[in-house]
Amino acid sequence: MTNSNANSPIPSPFSNDPLRVVVLTGSTREGRFGPVAADWFLRFAAQRGDLELDPLDLAEHPLPEVVSPAPHPEAAAVTERLAAADAFVVVTPEYNHSFPGPLKNAIDLHFTQWQAKPIGFVSYGGIGGGLRAVEQLRLVFAELHAVTMRDTVSFHRTSENFADDGSLLRPEIPEGAGKAMLDQLSWWGRTLRAGRTHTAYGAR
């Protein structure tokens, strides 16, 4: 007896739809540099045809300060956008060797919205370029079952990297780093989206 399905093509779980990427600006301080870095990244990433970018600035969406990730009506608009995303890029400074409190609050208010999704980073600040903040964020997102990208974009001493109009003075290095990070984010984003479509993620 022969199997009539033996030579049938296996349907692919991968979709050609653009990857939905929330670009999250994590600082809310007055005079912050975050929007400059975020605007540059959005312009850079928009050159690709495989991404659907959703800029989300926490300064424009004040969130309640609570510990539980239970549903909160005040956060509904942000929650819906995070839930709809396939991937994230977090734009963060380094404050006192860590990342901003409002960003931690936004992370802690949610749980399933981060699960089984990839996260890239654009960091800035001082001689360290915000990398200590990124390393701490990796630990936090690991606890939430997210996958952080190995390559990052970091800006050491922002005044030496950006012109007054927000353009890069020396674009080669950050653009190279940005391409590497987005290539990884795209691979993980599509792979994990296919996985979530096929099987519900089982974390509790």
pLDDT tens per residue, range 25-77:
999 999 999 999 999 999 999 999 999 999 999 999 999 988 787 788 999 99
CATH of the domain at 188: 3.40.50.360
3-state secondary structure of 112: coil
Q: Has residue 52 been placed in a domain?
A: yes
Q: Report the C-alpha gap between 110 and 180 in whole angstroms.
A: 28
Number of structural domains the chain divides into:
1
Give the residue numbers spanning the domain of 171. 19-197
In this structure, is residue 5 part of a structural domain? no
Residues 137-166 pLDDT 10s: 999 999 999 999 999 999 998 888 899 999
Residue 2 lies in a domain: no
Task: Please report how the helices 131-143 and 101-108 are oriented relative to each other, as an axis angle in degrees rounded to 10.
Answer: 10
